Amino acid sequence: MADDLSTRFDFATIAIHAGEAPDPTTGAQNTPIYQSATFALPDASQQVKQPGGQPEGYFYTREGNPTTAVIEAKVAALDGAEAAIASASGMGVISAALLTVLNPGDHLVCADSIYPISQDFITTELPRLGIDVSMVDITDLDAVREAMTPATRAVLTEFLSNPELAVADLPGLAEICRDQGARLIVDNTFATPYLLKPLEIGADIVLHSATKYISGHGDAVAGVAAGSQEMIGPMRRFVARYGSPISPFNAWLLIRGIKTLQLRMERHCQNAERLARFFEEHPAITRVMYPGLPDHPGHDLCGQLTGGRFGGMIAFEHRDGESGCQQFASKLQLACRAVSLGDVSTLVLPWTGRNLVRLSVGIEGIDDLIADADQALA
C-alpha cells in the first residue's frame, strides 16, 4: 500500500490522504478521535489473536486504535515503508527498535554525537541488559568498520546529528551493515521523510521523534518508526507489552500536523539557510554548524541525499563563549528559550556547559528573524 501510494502521488497528496476516508458511521471528513480504551467484540466466540489489533480488529487501545492507525499509515506511506508503529514518545520507538533487534550478548555500534537522552539510554540501560555498545564518530566510515565485531547486530545513527549537525553517510553505513549482516537504524527526526527517505538507501528501520516536525505545533509528544513488516511487527508487540502506546488524542494531533509537513519544511529550510548565512557573516559568531553552508564538512553529501535542502536546524559558537550564548538566547524577542524543536515558532537552546547555541528555525518572516538575531547579538 505504501509503495503504491509513493509511486502514484505527490508527497503532499500522500500526507493529506494516506490512511484516511470519511468516517463510515457519521460521514465525518476528518478522522475522529477514537477516545476509547476498549472496543466491543462482534460476538462471544471471537478470539483476540494479534497484538496491535490488526487484522482481526480493534479490541484495546494499548494494542491498536483506529486514530493511531491513520498516522501510522501516513508515515509508512511517506517513508515508503511496509508498516509503521506509533509510540508515546521518540524514546518509545528508539527503545523498541533497539530492544527488538538486540539480545544479551549482542553488540551495538552507535554514533557518538547522538541526542543526549538517547545516548544516556544506550550507554546505561543497554549494558545493564548484557548488550555491548561502541560509541564512534559515525562520519568516519573506517572507524565504524573497526568498531564492528562478529556480535554486532545493529548500527544506530542520526542522519543529522543533534546538536552539531554532522551528516552521516547513510549509503556507506548501509554497505557496512550489509557486509556484517547488521541492521541499520536511522533517526531521521531532523530531516523528516520530506527531505530524506533512509529506507530507500539501505536503512532497515527509520525513527522519528514525531513531537518535532511531524507534529510541527509543539502540542504532542510522540514517536513513529517505519520499516518492513518483519521489523515493525515485533516492535508493535514491544510497544504494547512495555506499555508505551500513543494516546488517540496525540495521534490525532499528528494527523493534523503532518498534512502541512511539506509546506512547513520548505519554509523551515529557506529560513534556516538565510539565517545561517547571516550568522556566518556576523563578527560575534565564530563558527556556524549548518549543512547548507558550502564550508560545512557534510555539505556535498547532505545535498546529494536531500536534493539540495538542508533542514531547519542551526548550531553556532559565540565569540564570548558560553556567556555569549546565554546572553544571545535571553535577548531574543521572537524565539522561545526552550527544549524540543521542529515547531512553527523559533526555539533557542543554549547548551549547558558548552559554547553552543541550537536554533530550531521556525516559519516566521525571515526578515523579522534576522532583525531579532541582529539585536540580540548587538
**What span, in angstroms and rounded, lies between the C-alpha atoms of 196 and 183?**
18
Q: pTM score, two decimals?
A: 0.95
Q: In the chain, what are the domains?
A: 2-258 (3.40.640.10), 262-377 (3.90.1150.10)
What is the rounded average pLDDT of the residues 12-32? Answer: 94
pLDDT tens digits, residue range 195-218? 999 999 999 999 999 999 999 999
pLDDT of 8 reads 83
127-163 burial by CB neighbour count: b if 16+ within 10 A, else e?
eeeebbbbbbebbebeebeebbeeebbbbbbbbbbbb
Tell me the pLDDT of the chain averaged across its residues. 95
How far is C-alpha 361 from the chain's CA centre?
16
Could you tell me whether strands 83-87 and 223-227 are parallel, antiparallel, or unpaired per DSSP bridges? Answer: antiparallel
Measure the CA angle with vertex 90, ends 346 and 53; round to 5°: 130
pLDDT of 3 reads 47
Residue 123 C-alpha cell reads as 550507554
Q: Which residues contact 351 (CB under 8 A, 6 or more apart)?
A: 163, 325, 357, 358
152: pLDDT strictly greater than 90: yes
pLDDT of 85 reads 98
**What span, in angstroms and rounded, lies between the C-alpha atoms of 60 and 65?**
7
323: pLDDT strictly greater than 90: yes
pLDDT of 1 reads 41
What is the rounded average pLDDT of the residues 159-165? Answer: 97
Dihedral sign, Cα of residue 250, residue 255, residue 258, residue 260: negative
pLDDT tens digits, residue range 44-67? 555 555 444 444 689 899 999 999
What is the rounded average pLDDT of the residues 88-101? Answer: 98
Residue 245: name the closest of 78, 70, 86, 10 by CA. Answer: 86
**What span, in angstroms and rounded, lies between the C-alpha atoms of 324 and 331?**
11
pLDDT of 73 reads 97
**What span, in angstroms and rounded, lies between the C-alpha atoms of 206 and 150?**
24
